[in-house]
Structure 1
Amino acid sequence: MLELFGYIGALFIGIVLGITGGGGSILTVPILVYILKYDPIIATAYSLFIVGTTSGFGTYQNFKKGFVVPKTALQFAIPSVIGVYITRKFIVPKIPETIFYFGSIQLSKDTFLMLLFAIVMFMAAYSMLKDENETGVVIYKAKSIVLVFIQLFFVGILIGLIGAGGGFLIIPALLKFAKLPMKTAIGTSLFIITINSLIGFTGDIQNMEIDWLFLIPFTTFSVIGIFIGLYIQHYINEKHLKKIFGFFVLIMSFFILYKELLS
């Protein structure tokens, strides 16, 4: 029964990605950890493959509509993809099982990653609930593009740690520095997410055994979902749906905090 709910969740991930151009990927790790009972390290690795593959199909659809700028995507992807790969290949395997302990209180690696994920979910929820005249989570205050690339490198490290797409962090950079329109920024960010996620996943292939018999079917459901989302996006109010989903992600972030700290 839990496996059935997991595959329904995969479909939902793709549908939200198809409708809003982002956001759905933030649910991948919670579904893998809390419904399908995967270890957070494995879940973040699998999430990179699922998110990367699904975003790839979204990129193709947006490219056909003229909403992807490949040159800009590659320029912005280079610093972040380096951060993602280094994190998955070298940093994550070196994180100790117990990060901190004081008496009976201890912080394990799994709990640390899920708490970090909850914080990122909160930030993602904010970016979806923001007013229409805002562009996203404000982290790019530097005027120099070099400093922005340094920031993108650290964004890549964050993406590598939590296994999410990070579109809500990438889109503001594209809007501010590449001066792209919103729809083009969303499409281009999907291309960047695809590159980051799949190359980051190659670091995991070298560090762990991959259960392809699970991963391929789960990803297939997510890909089917993105085509459903792309089809029905013309018949629903995207802005209202994004806010509803933002509230859902916000609730999920508090749920993860509760599970990891109090349960």
Structure 2
Amino acid sequence: MTALLLALAAGAVVGLALGALGGGGSMLAVPALIYLLHLDPATATTAALLIVAVTTLTALPAHARARRVRWRTGLLFAAAGLPAATLGGALSRYAPPAALTAGFAGLAALAAWRMLGPRRPAPPPAAPAAPGPAPAPSPTRSLAVGAALGLATGLLGVGGGFLAVPALVSLLALPMTEAVATSLLVIGANSLAALVPRLGSAGHVPWTVVGPFAAAAVLGAWDGKRLAARLGGRTLQRVFAAALLSVATLMLADAILH
């Protein structure tokens, strides 16, 4: 009963993060599965990918109905990361648990730093440009960011929304609301690609933990958007960043001691 309650509570928090911020859920899911529900790192990262994939793809239709998903942009961005996510998922089978824990701790610290960093000031209005198509973002840079995101997804079991959202905004010039919605498509696709090589060697998936965790995450994602509107996205970012810093410190200490 205790494990069930912990899975439900942790899943709700993960869903809130995904629903409110378009990312950050898997950064909390992996440590919750390891330290609260006592899964080993390899099983925890596989379970986190499954939970994040289910949660993001369940939340996606609501954003699609609101016409916030840029399907072509999201699919192209995700396509760059799919081979890297598959490769990362295959390599994760050979990575020592301590290395996975340390790598995840570093990525969690990076995510917290990005969330706590000051907002960039809005650029001044540009002068009217000459008629013609808007300049396209660098395909090489877009492919590189998409591939890096996919590799992190496959290797460390993270959805990568905290990287996908700023990349979609800065590289592809999407408005924030559309970037959050489109990131769900990218996260879901990368998570599914990373699951393929993992499931064959994952062994027993603890469905008694994963099932309630995923169900609570799906319900939490529906409330995340309303919570963001009530508290403000910046407030939520700071709360999740503080949680991530605590998680990063705990996991890094664990990796060093073991």
Q: Please report the TM-score for the alignment, with normalisation by the length of structure 1.
A: 0.85
Quote the residue 1:155 is aligned against: 149
String of CA shifts for 1:50-107, please: whole Å, max 9, x gaps.
Answer: 011111122222222222101000100011111111221x312233xxxxxxxxxxxx
**Structure of higher RCO (CA pairs closer than 8 Å, 6+ residues apart):** 2
1:245 partner amino acid: F
String of CA shifts for 1:106-150, please: whole Å, max 9, x gaps.
Answer: xxx111101100000011101211212279xxxxxxx74124313
Of the structure 1 ranges 37-46 and 144-153, higher mean CA displacement relative to structure 2 is found in 144-153
* Residue 115 in structure 1 maps to residue 102 in structure 2: yes
Partners of 1:35 and 1:251 in 2: how far apart?
A: 14
Aligned residues: 242
2:148 partner amino acid: F
Quote the residue 2:127 is aligned against: none
1:223 partner amino acid: V
1:198 partner amino acid: L
Q: Alignment identity in percent?
A: 29
* Residue 125 in structure 1 maps to residue 112 in structure 2: yes
Quote the residue 1:204 is aligned against: 198
1:118 partner amino acid: A
Quote the residue 1:38 is aligned against: 39
Q: Please report the TM-score for the alignment, with normalisation by the length of structure 2.
A: 0.86
- The unaligned stretches of length 5 or more in structure 2 are 123-136
Q: What aligned pairs does 1:1-263 form with structure 2 within 5 A after superposition?
A: 1-88=2-89, 90-95=90-95, 109-133=96-120, 144-209=138-203, 210-262=205-257
Quote the residue 1:103 is aligned against: none
8 Å Cα contact 2:50/2:192 also seen in 1: yes
8 Å Cα contact 1:54/1:226 also seen in 2: yes
RMSD of equivalent CA atoms? 2.0
Partners of 1:192 and 1:47 in 2: how far apart?
A: 16
2:116 partner amino acid: L
8 Å Cα contact 2:3/2:209 also seen in 1: no
8 Å Cα contact 1:3/1:35 also seen in 2: no
Change (3 A) 1:177 1:49: same
